[in-house]
Structure 1
């Protein structure tokens, strides 16, 4: 490649990198104003495709604490917050194929093997939180540090509660009902109303070894199930 062309390519790459870096800087650090007023606006927005079924929500109130020591131990302060939280549970239906379905013609039972329930990131509503702070003198740095720590701790506590076995079990139970209802609708529309639907999670173990005959279409199997 001729040297001038190499130089042009390098400049183009650097220009692109600079543009991307500038966009990131504007997104994270630049504050836009209208005259002297700071604007409230959406900085960025990204839409992502999804095919997960929401199967439950855990909600309640979370408490978190933080302490701060400054001034060679002379400035001690602490903070406790209480805020409402919610955590959603999902099942990713995009991972299902015909291999996930099992048909037992004798018992007329349709089983579906689904992925494990996933726990979404916890949402702590800090706009409705109650705060108690104590300290002889709380600096702005101490205020920021305690707010950051207590906020992080609140999310961790809520996430841990949502991930405990009892709540995961409740999410699975609700998922069985929701998925069975989702499957029953097309079966009823096809005139197959007397089918028992069973939902299996990986934690249930392998309860059946009878799979779909993949040499036939799904429509043909459902026709034979009548």
Structure 2
């Protein structure tokens, strides 16, 4: 019984659990280190090879609604030798940034039906911006300047240029103008996606209106009849 358990035994059990947790955490950390930072070589020759180290496939409910693409220019500098060795790099390369809407966030609670105007209003989640994809292999310009560019300086320049390019592409993708354009494209895409099953059910004259969070403060003074769910309306039609 719990009343007869010795304090020493409890402390020992706690210590074992802590040690197991530390062991598992250390093993996971070592696995991640091996995955990211250890060079994989051929077993017999020891030569580094091109190989997929890990691969994970997961499901997603996000709908791609827009893509921003173009060419960007990124610059970076590196200073070494107490300021005597300065090197600079300028690179031009293509980039793409995708925009998504999570369809998993749209349920019956986000649908409103107006019987008078035969309008289905969809309160969609806001557009999300994916991580920019910088096509470094497609560089159209790469210039490095400096009296002496060491190997470490070249590696640092390449890393900094990549980081600068990522940041610049993300700022452009998240600018108010680009987000507004993406929302309009998302609105049209979602309306088409949701209108298709309505048309197949014989409701081709239904208007689909898609709204995003920032737009839902005022509903244009219209009163939406939400007493009947859209699914019930389609069921009655059948």
| Fold agreement, TM-score > 0.5 | yes
Q: 1:115 to 1:12 in 2, by over 3 A?
A: closer
1:186 counterpart (184, 197, 202): 197
Contact 2:114 2:226 in 1 (8 A): no
Runs of at least 5 residues in structure 2 that lack an aligned partner in the other structure? 1-8
Structure 1 match to 2:66: 56
2:83 counterpart (56, 65, 73): 73
Contact 1:108 1:225 in 2 (8 A): no
Q: 1:72 to 1:91 in 2, by over 3 A?
A: same
2:161 counterpart (144, 150, 165): 150
Structure 1 match to 2:173: 162
Q: How many equivalent residue pairs?
A: 224
Q: 1:187 to 1:147 in 2, by over 3 A?
A: same
2:232 counterpart (204, 208, 220): 220
Query: How far does residue 2 in structure 1 lie from its aligned partner after superposition?
Result: 7.7
Deviates more, 1:11-20 or 1:51-60: 11-20
Deviates more, 1:64-73 or 1:185-194: 64-73
Quick one: distance in 2 between partners of 1:146 and 1:157?
16
Quick one: distance in 2 between partners of 1:4 and 1:112?
57
If the length of structure 1 is used for normalisation, what is the TM-score? 0.89
Structure 1 match to 2:27: 19
Runs of at least 5 residues in structure 1 that lack an aligned partner in the other structure? none
Q: CA RMSD in A?
A: 2.2
Quick one: distance in 2 between partners of 1:75 and 1:224?
78
1:53-75: CA deviation from partner (whole Å, max 9, x where unpaired): 10000000011111122223221
Query: How far does residue 212 in structure 1 lie from its aligned partner after superposition?
Result: 2.6
Q: 1:6 to 1:219 in 2, by over 3 A?
A: closer
If the length of structure 2 is used for normalisation, what is the TM-score? 0.85
Query: How far does residue 39 in structure 1 lie from its aligned partner after superposition?
Result: 1.8
1:131-155: CA deviation from partner (whole Å, max 9, x where unpaired): 1111111011211221111111101
Structure 2 match to 1:98: 108
